Structure 1
Amino acid sequence: MLRNKLRDFKKKKSSKIFIGILSASFVIFVIFWIFSFGKESTDASQIEGHIVTISPQISGKVVKIFVSDNQNVNEGDPLVELDSAQQKVEVALAMADLDAAKASFEQAEAELSRTDKNYFANLAQARGGLTQANSGIVTSAEAVKQAKANLDSAISAESLAKKNLERFLSLKIQGAVSQAELDNQQNQYEQARAALHSAQAQVASMQASRTQSSGGLQQAKGQMLQAEALENQVKSFAAAVNLAQAKVKRAEAALNQAELKLSYTLVKAPFSGTVSNKTVENGKIVQISSPLLSIVSLTDTWVVANFKENQLKNMRAGQKVKIKVDSYPSKTFTGVVKGLSGASGATFALLPPDNSSGNFVKVTQRFPVQIEITSRPSDAVLRPGMSTVVTVHTR
């Protein structure tokens, strides 16, 4: 009897304990559900930032190092200096070539200017001479024509005077005219003969003048051809000027390139940050793209959190995020979701998983989510690689 009572008591006690544990579990589940509702968390996250490996753009010998590991630098600060002797020589040669090209250009321009002026002056003079020669030809032709007309008139007058003289001689013999009248007629005949000789001389003179005018026309035409020939010289000198100008531009480009190479001998910080992973040493011969050191930005950092694929259903860009950084356990940072990756992290792996063989094992994939940090306390430096725990408020 006593045993039965003891057994019943134990059963009741066990039932109460079971109910108590079940009730506590339910309460804990409800509390957890209430606090976790509308939130997605992961500790597979870390701080990311801009990390740039600094390399030289030319080969050379390191002659000076301005920084050391973990040193803070500002944008534009010198980091490493390479031997610049060869680059300085190249700059000097390029400057000399540029001066020579400019001198040739100025000389070509002067020749073009002189030839151009001579061309227009000679052309104007030749055109004036040609016009004058043509006018002389026309004038000479008219003068010859007028002289011939005068000659014809003188011939007629001489013939008439001769006939009158012969008639007066016959009349004198007959005693019909006096000696004075015969002498008068003799004078008229002499005058007519003189006028004839003068007209003949004038015709000869005008013909000679016309011949001379023809020669002047030919000479003017020759001068015109010479003036027009200068046009080809002008074009030739213009081409020489263009060529000299092209050489100046080429020399300027060569100088710019030489100065650019000279500037490459001084390696500068591309942005403000901290020097890390310095491998360069004084006296070392470095090649193009050889890593010298790295610059880590501490002011432009963000968080990349890898959420499981079943956590992304309600996640959107712009949602608020609570960030806990392991290095600062007493601080809470805030941020917003910047964007979700278009593919899982495994997709971008060097050797992505391949299920073509049929041996595919399903594994929950994780997707990188970029989170922008909106609060940055001045006493907390967020360095790339720091571990974080993020919670995204999805509702």
Structure 2
Amino acid sequence: MNVALDRTAPAETAQQTKARSRRRLACITSGSLAAITLLAFTSYWLTTGRYLETTDDAYIRADWVALSPRVAGYVAEVEVADDQPVNAGDVLVRLQNRDYRARRDHARAGVAEAQAALAAAQASRQVANERIYQQQQAILQAAAAVRSATAEQHRTELDMQRYRGLVRDDAATVQRLETASARATQAQAALQAAQAALREQRSQLAMAKARSAQADAELHQHAAALTRAQAHRQLAEQDEQDTVIRAPITGVVGQRRVRAGQYVVPGQPLLAVVPLQQAYVVANYKETQLARMRPGQPVEIRVDSFASQPLQGHVASFSPASGNVFALLPSDNATGNFTKIVQRFPVRILLDTPLQGPKVLPGMSVVSTVDTRPAEVADAH
């Protein structure tokens, strides 16, 4: 028995030695792996990890447009279906436009009438101006007649005085004096008539000027009436054009509530157009994560619907205030029961490439990671 025990002892000792060697090697290997892992993690953290800011409080957004009619009326035709892609300018809804066409035609007729009245007023002003010119010429003629009559009256007065002297000296007959006196009286009457005619022509000129002023006033009045009629026509034409509702942007139809035969009023929501190709991300980062964030920094975006296919984007802008400031009922911390809460600020992130492959829809949840490394550090790695 002792011999057998002595023979097995060396074998057991060798096995224990091998086991200890294997354990030592495993410990050394695991320690080395742990050290390498720690070094790799530390290197990653120092060069990259500490610069990455991540949040899952982020969503896809799009500046969709809700369409409403500008005029009231019955819907004649709805030319789009739910979830249909449309381009900017495509017709979406048509309203019955019979009444608006009639109003447009009535307004156009009003413009034509106002234009005719304006043309008549312009002709009247032209006639009044011509009348003023005629009266000015008539005044010149009457003034010349007054000067002629004055000269004749002066001549006959001198003749009469001369014949009086001749009659006194018996060098002329009384008949010649009487004739000269009669001519002097006639010349005086002709002068008075010429002066009266001059006054009448001047009065006629004043009346012509008054008529001209009246014609100018009527012209301005008709010009204003034409402007008013043109404004009414423009409004009527716009109303007639507004019976056709077009897509303001390129996108996809959503929230279609309008149906043919429905009566709609201005401001009533009919449908929405969502610009999917202009989708962006709004990520709500904590205020403690914004220290190194700047516009233009790269962002990795993982949509929950297809997290295995990350998208690339960049920081576009920051909200001017936290979400609590814009809340309907912002919190008032000026109380005795104050609890400090880290605020979140919306950050707008734009996608760098057009959306391809999976459909990115507004409202989807995403996880965004902003790389806040300085440009020189990022370029070095």
Query: Structure 2: how far apart are the matches of 1:118 and 1:377?
Result: 78
Name the residue aligned to 1:182: none
1:266 to 244, 258, 275: 244
Deviates more, 1:115-124 or 1:346-355: 346-355
Deviates more, 1:370-379 or 1:68-77: 370-379
1:137 equivalenced with 2:150 (yes/no):
yes
Deviates more, 1:353-362 or 1:256-265: 353-362
Q: Contact 1:123 / 1:228 at 8 angstroms: preserved in 2?
A: no
Name the residue aligned to 2:99: 86
Question: One-letter code of the match for 2:209?
Answer: E
Query: Structure 2: how far apart are the matches of 1:228 and 1:349?
Result: 74
Q: Runs of 5+ in structure 1 lacking a partner? A: 1-8, 159-191
Query: Structure 1: how far apart are the matches of 2:258 and 2:160?
Result: 108
Query: Structure 2: how far apart are the matches of 1:292 and 1:154?
Result: 115
Deviation of residue 383 (structure 1)? 2.7
Query: Structure 1: how far apart are the matches of 2:151 and 2:338?
Result: 112
Q: Contact 1:336 / 1:373 at 8 angstroms: preserved in 2?
A: yes
Name the residue aligned to 1:177: none
1:204 equivalenced with 2:186 (yes/no):
no
1:355 to 310, 314, 333: 333
Matches within 5 A, 1:214-363: 214-363=192-341
Query: Structure 2: how far apart are the matches of 1:212 and 1:51?
Result: 93
Q: Contact 1:73 / 1:269 at 8 angstroms: preserved in 2?
A: yes
Secondary structure of the residue aligned to 1:367 is strand
Name the residue aligned to 1:117: 130
Q: TM-score, normalised by structure 2?
A: 0.82
Q: Runs of 5+ in structure 2 lacking a partner? A: 1-19, 374-381
Work out the percentage of aligned pairs sharing the same amino acid: 30
Q: Contact 1:105 / 1:248 at 8 angstroms: preserved in 2?
A: yes
Name the residue aligned to 2:42: 30
Deviation of residue 301 (structure 1)? 2.2
Deviation of residue 377 (structure 1)? 5.0
Deviation of residue 327 (structure 1)? 4.0
Q: Contact 2:277 / 2:354 at 8 angstroms: preserved in 1?
A: no
Question: One-letter code of the match for 2:118?
Answer: F
Name the residue aligned to 1:3: none
1:105 equivalenced with 2:118 (yes/no):
yes
Q: Contact 2:104 / 2:237 at 8 angstroms: preserved in 1?
A: yes
Deviation of residue 364 (structure 1)? 2.7
Question: One-letter code of the match for 1:274?
Answer: V
1:40-72 residue CA offsets vs partner (Å, 9 max, x unmatched): 122221221111111111222111001011111
Question: One-letter code of the match for 1:56?
Answer: P
Deviates more, 1:377-386 or 1:210-219: 377-386
Q: Contact 2:302 / 2:368 at 8 angstroms: preserved in 1?
A: yes
Name the residue aligned to 2:140: 127
Deviation of residue 218 (structure 1)? 1.4
1:56 equivalenced with 2:57 (yes/no):
no
Deviation of residue 74 (structure 1)? 0.8
Which has the greater radius of gyration?
1
1:195-242 residue CA offsets vs partner (Å, 9 max, x unmatched): x53344233223322222222221222222122222111111110111
1:365 equivalenced with 2:377 (yes/no):
no
Distance change >3 Å, CA 22–CA 329, structure 1 → 2: closer
Q: Contact 1:326 / 1:388 at 8 angstroms: preserved in 2?
A: yes
Query: Structure 2: how far apart are the matches of 1:364 and 1:210?
Result: 113
Query: Structure 2: how far apart are the matches of 1:356 and 1:368?
Result: 24
Question: One-letter code of the match for 2:121?
Answer: A
Name the residue aligned to 1:388: 366
Question: One-letter code of the match for 2:80?
Answer: V
Deviation of residue 330 (structure 1)? 4.7
Secondary structure of the residue aligned to 1:139 is helix
Query: Structure 1: how far apart are the matches of 2:335 and 2:277?
Result: 47
Q: Contact 2:149 / 2:190 at 8 angstroms: preserved in 1?
A: no
Secondary structure of the residue aligned to 2:75 is strand
Query: Structure 2: how far apart are the matches of 1:121 and 1:351?
Result: 81
Q: Contact 1:304 / 1:370 at 8 angstroms: preserved in 2?
A: yes
Aligned-pair RMSD on alpha carbons?
Answer: 2.7
Question: One-letter code of the match for 1:127?
Answer: L
Deviation of residue 96 (structure 1)? 2.2
Query: Structure 1: how far apart are the matches of 2:322 and 2:44?
Result: 29
Deviates more, 1:109-118 or 1:263-272: 109-118
Deviation of residue 249 (structure 1)? 0.5
Q: Contact 1:333 / 1:376 at 8 angstroms: preserved in 2?
A: no
Distance change >3 Å, CA 328–CA 221, structure 1 → 2: same
Q: Contact 1:335 / 1:371 at 8 angstroms: preserved in 2?
A: yes
Question: One-letter code of the match for 1:335?
Answer: G
Q: Contact 1:338 / 1:370 at 8 angstroms: preserved in 2?
A: yes
1:76-102 residue CA offsets vs partner (Å, 9 max, x unmatched): 111111121221221122122222222
Question: One-letter code of the match for 1:234?
Answer: S
Question: One-letter code of the match for 2:276?
Answer: L
Name the residue aligned to 2:83: 70
